Structure 1
Amino acid sequence: MIYNSLNNKSEPAKFEEAVVRGIAPDRGLYFPEKIHRLPDSFFENIESKSIPDIAYDAIAPFLEGSIPELELKKIISETLDFEFPVIPIHDNIGTLELFQGPTLAFKDVGARFMARCLGYFNKENSSQKVTVLVATSGDTGGAVANGFLGVSGIEVVILYPKGKVSKVQEQQLTTLGQNITALEVNGTFDDCQDMVKTAFLDQEITTQKQLTSANSINVARWLPQMFYYFIAYRELKKHNKPLVISVPSGNFGNICAGLMAHQIGLPIDHFVASTNINDVVPDYLKTGVYKPIKSSPTISNAMDVGDPSNFIRILKIFGNNFENLKEMLSGYRYTDEETRVALKEIHQTSGYVADPHGAVGYLGLKDYLKNHPNKYGIFLETAHPVKFLDTVEETLDIKVEVPERLQETLSKTKKSIEINDYQGLKKFLIH
């Protein structure tokens, strides 16, 4: 499998090269040269297949020629070693819990998959140390830190916006030590993301360090997120109704992976991109004009993204055809006040405790189903509510039990380095 830059100014790359580079030399995102399609018979019998076997068949063609079959199956098995339960909420609405992994966030899957791929590649090139550079608006940092912790030959540098991630999220990315360093940026997530992209093009840095990114711009973080949608379909096929999936969306890597799953044959009927007030994509779906904005802070902070990197991949999937995209994707935006109301509604009607991102996903799904009552919908619950303890407890007037595996993290001492601008990052990386 060959990967091309979406800026079309760089040489094609194999999967291994695309993963290690993170982004192409022309600053473009990598995209596979061809998209395979699974046969209809695969989905007719999907209930009888194991989740690791389904995941292997879905992703293997994208890694062709880079990782042997047995090694890839081992990577998938280690990545998907926790549960992905579907919880009923109302008659035609459920939620898929993606937070049962080690850091209580959906990003555990992509981070663990990428860490194991990079670890495999690094065994072949053990003399070359790799620096993983990642920006986070919340959960990515903790998932990446956990996924790469102690991996030989790999250093991890995480940039996060000061005061704009939850206390739990900050503890998860600033307390691990070893090969993990957290840089606390005086700015927004978009500032952090821009610094990461700039570092990849800075020859003063790249001549001294082998950089790669663990954001969803990296193909090894992005593509394994397809697994969620196969898991959902496998569980919900029994309803025998068209399936709609609402995805709380920030950088649009997760929903982009869902749309890729659809491209290779997964029979999802429709996708809903649910955002907070950082509504670049819902606005685009109304106007046909893409207008990046300066991101604004909200209680669903992982979605505080004003220029989502992965949207260009979504446009590529649909051949930049606006009408085809609108047939498959709807977009809705919600305020913090509406999000709090949704948290209460979910809890009062079903007893379920959602997090703010899941609540936004619920709202988008509910609005879409108003006009499509004969479909079954799920929203993705992307993080455990304990990660947004203050918001959830204050809104619902309840106490959220802290999972045992998180209690030790919360008791550790935060260690971070504060930086103000790109020069601060550059100085750290070089010296």
Structure 2
Amino acid sequence: MQFYSTNNKDLRVSFQEAVFNSLPQDKGLYMPESIPQLDPYFIKNIQQYSFQEIAFQIANAIIGKGIPADDLKKIINEAINFDAPLVFLNSETAVLELFHGPSYAFKDFGARFMSRVMGYFSNKGDQLLDVLVATSGDTGGAVALGFLGVEGTRVTILYPKGKVSKVQEDQLTTNGQNIRALEVDGTFDDCQALVKQAFNDPELNQKLRLTSANSINIARLIPQTFYYFWAYAQLKSQGLNEVVFTVPSGNFGNIGAGLLAYKMGLPVSHFVAGTNVNDTVPRFLNSGAYEPKASIQTLANAMDVGNPSNWVRIQDLFENNFEELKGMVSSYTYTDEETKVGMDELFNKYKYVACPHTAIAYLASEAYRKEYPGEYASVFLSTAHPCKFPEAIDSDVYKQVKLPVGAENLHGKPKLAEDLEVDYAAFKDYLIRNN
């Protein structure tokens, strides 16, 4: 399988090149040259397969000969070594928990798979690989833990000052070794813009071997499809076949992966994107006009994105057919106050403690069911463990949170981060000076 740029379908590169280059020079994003269709027998009997077996079938279909089958199985078994369980709140509503990896967020799926793919393709004699990543909260922690100690790599994480939770910041800034953190006096969009500018700087790319760990990297997108198929397998084992997925959405990589899974043959009735007040996509679906705006800080900080990078991939999947896209994707937007109501409702009705992102997905799933009642399983995605958001959750509710193994070890470690203004020249100087 080869991959093209969303800005130039005549451009074709190998999977290895797409992974390491991350961002085509024409500033598009890489997509597979064709969407592979999975065997209907596999879909029909998917409940008979393990999570890792399902992941292999999907990755092998997309990557093809880019990685031999035995090597790909080894990568998957090492990277996807934790579960994504479906937890039913009632007979028609379930939450897909994606926070059982080492950083307690769904980003672990992409970060661990990508780090091992990069390690697989790297040779000992290669130039040091500089991995750049902008984070609004969870990506940085997942990438830091995914690449920590990986030979031949160095990670630089940019995060917005004062706009991530304490647990998120600890995961970003206490690692040392080959992980560096820059605390940017700006927004996530500013961090993302600095990273993109670095990739498009010919002089910098002559000096450093740069790649991205953000969801713009195709190696991040592919493993995020795995858990949609796994969720469907769990539904099938319960005798359920029709599903609507609701996804908390910021940079739109997560729901983009779900839509790729749908295009590959996963039977999904509809997708719902739940957003905070950063509502660029909901406004687009209502008006047809795509008008990015500056991001606004909210309780659901991992979704504080005003100009979602992955939206171009979603439009590409639907060949820019607005009506088809609107027929498959709905969206609802929530304020911080409404998000708090959602967290309270989940706890009061179901004794389920949720992070703000999960609460937004829950509210959106309930809104869609109210608007479109029917006999289907409503599955909303829980993308982060509530322990990462003590400031956002009611203190009495937060007392019910059980810390995952390792979370308590974050406290007390020294913060290893440098300050950075929103200044590309200063960022470039840092990278060259610390090479």
Residue number in structure 2 paired with 1:95: 95
Structure 1 residue 10: Cα displacement: 7.9
Residues 1:406 and 2:383 aligned together: no
Are the structure 2 counterparts of residues 395 and 31 from structure 1 closer, same or farther at C-alpha, using a change threshold of 3 Å?
Answer: farther
TM (normalized to structure 1)? Answer: 0.97
5+ residue gaps, structure 1, are none
Deviations along 1:328-387, one digit per CA (max 9) or x if unpaired, are 111110000000001010101111101100000001100111122322101100000000
What is the RMSD computed on CA atoms of the aligned residues?
A: 1.3
Secondary structure, counterpart of 1:392 in structure 2: coil
Partners of 1:428 and 1:70 in 2: CA distance: 40
Aligned equivalents of 1:32, 1:11: Cα separation in 2: 11
Q: Check the 8 A contact 2:390/2:398 in 1, yes or no.
A: no
SS class of match (2:393) = helix
List structure 1 runs of 4+ shifted beyond 3 angstroms. Answer: 393-399
Q: Secondary structure at the match of 2:274?
A: strand
* Alpha-carbon distance in structure 1 between the residues aligned to 2:398 and 2:271: 32
The structure-2 alpha-carbon separation of the partners of 1:240 and 1:408, relative to structure 1 and needing over 3 Å to count, comes to: closer
User: Structure 2 stretches of 5 or more lacking a match?
Assistant: none
**SS of equivalent to 1:400:** coil
| Change in 2 beyond 3 A, CA 1:90/1:11 | same
Name the CA distance, whole Å, in 2 between partners of 1:104 and 1:218: 21
Please show how residues 353-364 of structure 1 align to structure 2 within 5 Å: 353-364=353-364
Q: Residue deviations 1:374-417, cap 9 Å, x none? A: 22101100000000012113373635333331111222111101
Matched residue, 2:312:
312
Question: Judging changes above 3 Å, is the alpha-carbon distance between structure 1 residues 198 and 338 closer, same or farther for their aligned structure 2 residues?
Answer: same
Confirm whether residue 392 of structure 1 aligns to residue 393 of structure 2: yes
Aligned to 2:177: 178
2:8 match: secondary structure: coil
- 2:288 paired with 1:288: yes
Aligned to 1:29: 29
**Which residue in 1 is equivalent to 2:78?**
78
Amino acid at match of 1:218: N
Is the 2:255–2:273 Cα contact (8 Å) retained in structure 1?
yes
Partners in 1 of 2:285 and 2:413 — Cα distance? 44
Are 1:14 and 1:66, in contact at CA under 8 Å, matched by a contact in 2? yes
Q: Structure 2 counterpart of 1:400, which letter? A: V
| Cα distance in 2 for residues equivalent to 1:61 and 1:92 | 32
SS in 1 for 2:54: helix
Aligned to 1:136: 135
Question: Shift of the alpha carbon at 1:314?
Answer: 0.4
Question: Is the 1:340–1:395 contact (alpha carbons within 8 Å) kept by the matching residues of 2?
Answer: no
For 1:307, what is the secondary structure of its paired residue? coil
Q: Give the drift of 1:240.
A: 2.7
Task: State whether residues 38 and 61 of structure 2, in contact with CA within 8 Å, keep that contact through their aligned partners in structure 1.
Answer: no
Distance 1:289 1:80, change over 3 A: same
2:302 is paired with a residue whose SS is helix
One-letter amino acid of the counterpart of residue 240, structure 2: N
Q: Deviations over 1:166-198 (max 9, x none)?
A: 000000010000000000000000000000000
Within a 5 Å distance, the mapping from 1:246-261 to structure 2 comes to 246-261=246-261
C-alpha distance in structure 2 between counterparts of 1:78 and 1:152, whole Å: 16
Deviation at 1:68, TM superposition (A): 1.2
Distance 1:395 1:217, change over 3 A: farther
Report the secondary structure of 1:391's partner residue.
coil
Match in the other structure for 1:3: 3
Spell out the pairing of 1:54-65 with structure 2 (5 A cutoff). 54-65=54-65
Contact 1:262-1:268 at 8 Å conserved across structures: yes
Aligned to 2:68: 68
Aligned to 1:218: 217
Aligned residues: 430
